[in-house]
């Protein structure tokens, strides 16, 4: 199996097994358009409607839950039919192996964010004067997906993302008086994360 073909299958398998997000999947597709086009339009994929599947991916609005589920089901069926061994091999240990290989590519960097714990994140609230800016400041500093734009989505990240070993929130007093409710929600989420984390997680408010 050549490297480009293997990469395409690997990315699809990681997506259908929820190891990479829809946003990360589409970024990888569009950053490697020529490679994926060659893969889906190859003679072997044509025999199982690879061309149609490619256009289905392009036409999918991944922000619409029903469409995302639909394309994920189609891709799962494709892998089960054509590459069942790869489909069945995806697991946390498989992902860890990819990271350990330490290849300098975008897929490794994406997976490393999920499985390798950063040392420190510093979030400075100076100049933050709205709920939207507050949430985006947290989102961007912790490298959450772009789609994470509300507190429910931030809360979901405590289960899906590896947080840094330590988070320092700076200039907290500048937002407490203006955005009391948002700050309280943030504290609740961080408290919940602290309870979920058995170790290697520290929060400091200054």
What is the structure's pLDDT at 191? 94
Which tens digits make up the pLDDT trace of 12-46? 999 998 888 888 899 899 888 999 999 988 877 76
SS3 category, 120: strand
Three-state SS across 145-193? CCCCCCHHHHHHHHHHCCCCCEEEEECCHHHHCCCHHHHHHHHHHHHHH
Fold classification of 117-205 is: Barnase; Chain D (3.30.370)
Which tens digits make up the pLDDT trace of 41-87? 887 776 657 788 999 999 999 988 899 999 999 999 999 988 999 88
Q: Is 21 left (phi over 0), alpha (psi -120 to 50) or beta?
A: beta
Q: Where are the domains of the chain?
A: 3-111, 117-205
Which tens digits make up the pLDDT trace of 120-146? 999 999 999 999 999 999 999 998 888
pTM (2 d.p.):
0.59
């Amino acid at each position: 199996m050549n490297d480009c073909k293997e990469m395409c299958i690997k990315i699809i398998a990681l997506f259908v097994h929820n190891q990479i997000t829809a946003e990360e999947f589409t970024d990888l597709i569009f950053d490697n358009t020529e490679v994926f086009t060659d893969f889906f339009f190859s003679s072997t994929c044509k025999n199982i409607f690879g061309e149609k599947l490619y256009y289905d991916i392009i036409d999918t609005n991944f922000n619409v839950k029903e469409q995302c589920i639909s394309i994920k089901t189609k891709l799962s069926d494709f892998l089960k039919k054509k590459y069942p061994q790869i489909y069945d091999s995806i697991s946390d240990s498989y992902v860890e192996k990819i990271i350990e290989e330490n290849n300098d590519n975008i897929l490794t960097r994406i997976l490393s964010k999920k499985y390798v714990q950063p040392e420190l994140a510093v979030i400075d609230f100076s100049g933050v004067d709205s709920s939207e800016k507050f949430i985006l400041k947290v989102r961007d500093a912790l490298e959450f997906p772009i789609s994470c734009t509300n507190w429910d989505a931030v809360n979901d990240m405590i289960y899906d993302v590896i947080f840094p070993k330590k988070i320092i929130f700076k200039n907290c007093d500048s937002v407490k008086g203006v955005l009391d409710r948002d700050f309280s929600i943030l504290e609740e989420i961080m408290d919940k994360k602290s309870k979920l984390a058995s170790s290697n997680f520290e929060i400091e408010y200054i």
